[in-house]
Structure 1
């Protein structure tokens, strides 16, 4: 049921998310005709970037606080809060009449959001630390499938319905998900506060000394996770420009490439999770380093690809490699935490990832404006290589005990 709620809620948010730049351009066309000139049309690129960056900044600012509150009040209620907050912000977006109102509501949406971290903490607590890699992989698969399904459905509905109706429908779906969390998910009693030094490592395979020292390298692992997100989101803004302008792909071909990356992720996620759950903390990080180096090499190779078919194959392979990184690293972080600290730690990890997401989106836009579009995948490869550095430090420290 938790996986289904994640899928529905993510699909609801993606009903309108891919189309905001087009909607903002339309709004700016209306406003630029106003003699008052309240929002010049020359701000189109800035607003199109801000509509994606502002929710990330809002989430980065609030995730740690929401995670700490979830440790005290229960992660189930934090999921309800996040879903109601998303629904409220979607209603605000449905009523927004100007670009400035859209940007404000998108920032508020980020502040009130944060469903993924409490869902991860709730699921890990529900399973009592068993098989966290499978749980986190399944949640990430639901996120990807929901994103694709929501974008496709939103594009179809927008042909017959006003854009505001998509946001209103998303609000209704979020309210339904909040009802499902309250009535269909098991209740849990919040754990009493305990010392941060208390950690649970009984379920971690491998050398006990490695298990005891693993939580000391959490900052390095969180930094690597953030850099992975940054590298992936470098292509958030340039994606359509690169595939259409450099590769000369049609709209259906672009959609196929996007879908193949999601398909590669979903096909490989559970396999990587099954493998990783049998590894010690150090060996898990060693696997991550190998995968990230593979991603860096693949990204650099894609920079020279000009065949549509070969590009599709590389996107499938990139999705499969990504499936072995972020879900496994998030599960690794979760396994180093006691139940009464998991929400705060995962919230901190999500906050770092959101800051890095915002930097990645802005960096991608800056590279495009700087004339680096044709070599954007080389920059992505460099960012992936950079993510391997903190993991190498963590791996070395755990090996030394």
Structure 2
């Protein structure tokens, strides 16, 4: 089986099943097969969540510094109540009238700007990105796609083919070209360099006869290693549009206030997408996703290919999604994210002064990447994974990302608190010291 950067950089590889006396790992492997993955050398058996904390089967409390799915906190009472109330009433699909989808759509579209005023619903980010590719191809008449070198856009057949993080070049379709992410440490102008890469990829797709359907970008470049420079997208999007392509902003990870500075990652960049995709945090754990688009971009697909999704946009999923917007607004989470995110980065920066294994620290709001490097500043995948495991042993959950798997991926629920920051920084300081001593 080929190595998947996003799936295998921090996955269980066997050998600790004995720590779980109930045999759950063996049963899982026997019945689910080898495609599924677990996190950590010693997997975590979680049974309950509350806010930014999780609890295992023994009652041990963990700090969740990884999951953006429960974006407004695990089991937020307002979301739970909204879902339960709707479940006791009715849950059908979008071929019957219900107020929930109309009310929510109006609220959602109001956050996206005046050009984007139509929305279509699905269940997962993968489905949303799959649908966006179909819409883009119908609009442009082309099939070529440009993505970044470690992009992850989902796991359907179509989006696996544009997700090199799933397994490198082996998974890519012939109609896909990759470009390096806009690393601010690169020589020259990052924005101009990134745009130039997009132009070259577009030229290659045109020479190959695919044309250029779309540029697809996760607007915080999360799988590429988390690059938050807000000045890099405008020239690249212009380069894609110059050859007739549309820009798809994949907001599954940076959206819904994650960066604090704006509701959507593309707003930070000052660029208007043609299509926006969203998923994970949209329903705080309930499966709901969507694409939103300019009506002229959506028109050809919508008038030639009738669309239906049994569970997409159902009354229950709309109740969950609406409750998430309620919480974001009523608790003023973007403002909280700015403050807590800044405090978290400051704490990590102070710790880094005592640990030369820490390289670049970057991010926005509550999406932070911390590079782990060797003495000569080379990427250190091994130590990064050791730090993740040491923090797991201290009951703090994170992961890794980036081309070399050496960037600590810190992405907690938006309700992270000051005490959570203290817990996190204490665990990180200890993990850095412990792994340094072990390596030495």
TM-score, structure 1 as length reference: 0.29
Structure holding more strand per residue:
2
